[in-house]
Amino acid sequence: MADDHSSSSPHLCHSCGNPTTAAPPPTAAPWSDASPPPSTAPSEPRPSTPPPPNTAAIILSPVPQPLPVPPLSFPHSFESPSKKIASPDDIAHFHSIPAGRHFLGFVSALSQSARGLKISDPVPISATISSLLSLLQALSSWLPLFPPLPHPSRYGNPAFRSWHQKLVDDASSLVLPLLPSDDLRPASIELVPYLLDSFGNPTRMDYGTGHETHFAAFLYCLARLGVVSEPDYPALVTRVFVSYLSLMREVQMTYQLEPAGSHGVWGLDDYHFLPFVFGSAQLVDHKYMKPKSIHNQDILDNFSNEYMYLACVAFVKKVKRGPFAEHSPLLDDISGVATWSKVNSGLLKMYKAEVLEKVPIMQHFLFGSIIKWE
């Protein structure tokens, strides 16, 4: 059947399959001199670009739902985690076992906890949250100790390896404050590898969504250990994850890390995915800001410090050249979706499909006794 662009066929967002508020680009501007363009006008029409892979599967998949984290029972025997995933069959197995279901449920629960929250809104700060923030602050304080070295390549300044080696050297001492009892301290054998893989690969000098996922897995391990609980989730998002994102932006820019597994123009961001999930949750039911508001530079300038999604869009616009619709067509498509709730549900589905179901990413994921392969 010929492709029909009539008004009976809605324009669908490539990421989540939701109808967008914008029709396919018209041949002329849809406003006149009597009706000036809105301050949040969508991007100019872009050249035809093929949609990202797996679109149909993402559209048809269910929205990942929040799940409670099953606590570990003690006494417990901890073990050094290792890689288990090597094929699509392994991916399918991962999503069928409790570890896979509950990890995705944890990410969904974090997203739900951030709904309607600004970064500056007061949230409970437990001792564990304070320790996590101190850990991230320590890593940030090391950056001046290892300034970039003269280096001819575009990506991967070798000074990153020195910064990461200090993380390796100090990892156990960084983790122990999170484990306040004799029963918990042996868990460092599992926590340290997740932490080390949360900040990029020192051999390849790259960083991507797999490393970001390991940081989420590190937090999930803390939840299974019982040192963070659901009342901590808002702070995990608006304090800990925001600090982690800030640190990683600094690391990426200081050492020019290569994007690991970037989707190119059909990615949200060369490095990150979860801040778009959590950031869209923050904006659910916002009175004034809609998905199309990302095209209003005043909104980005004034509210990026409060909303992760806006901060991520502002960063993309800062580091990429050319029309927004050309270098970030996926973000441009998403801006046409009617509500932040639909954006959030679509991004959760996309995170499962484009990160947690991809062998090149998940082949590095670690399994031990806390996140168990069974």
For residue 185, being part of any structural domain is answered with yes
What pLDDT is recorded for position 352?
A: 96
What pLDDT is recorded for position 53?
A: 52
Instruction: State the Rg of the chain over Cα.
Output: 21
Averaged over successive runs of 10 residues, the pLDDT of the chain (374 residues) comes to: 39 53 35 33 44 65 94 95 98 98 98 98 98 98 97 90 98 97 97 98 95 98 98 98 97 93 68 96 96 96 97 92 89 94 96 94 97 97
For residue 30, being part of any structural domain is answered with no
What pLDDT is recorded for position 296?
A: 95
CATH of the domain at 302: 1.20.120.1150
How many domains does one find in the chain? 1
**DSSP string of 241-297?**
IHHHHHHHHHHHHHHTPEEES--GGGSS-SS-SHHHHHHHHHTTT-SS--GGGGG-H
What pLDDT is recorded for position 22?
A: 44
Which domain range does residue 142 map to?
Answer: 81-367
For residue 74, being part of any structural domain is answered with no
**pTM for this one?**
0.86
What pLDDT is recorded for position 270?
A: 83
Q: Report how far residue 294's alpha carbon sits from residue 278's, in angstroms, rounded to the nearest whole number.
A: 16
Question: What one-letter code names the amino acid at 276?
Answer: F
Is residue 267 a contact partner of residue 355, using CB atoms and an 8 Å limit?
no
What pLDDT is recorded for position 260?
A: 85
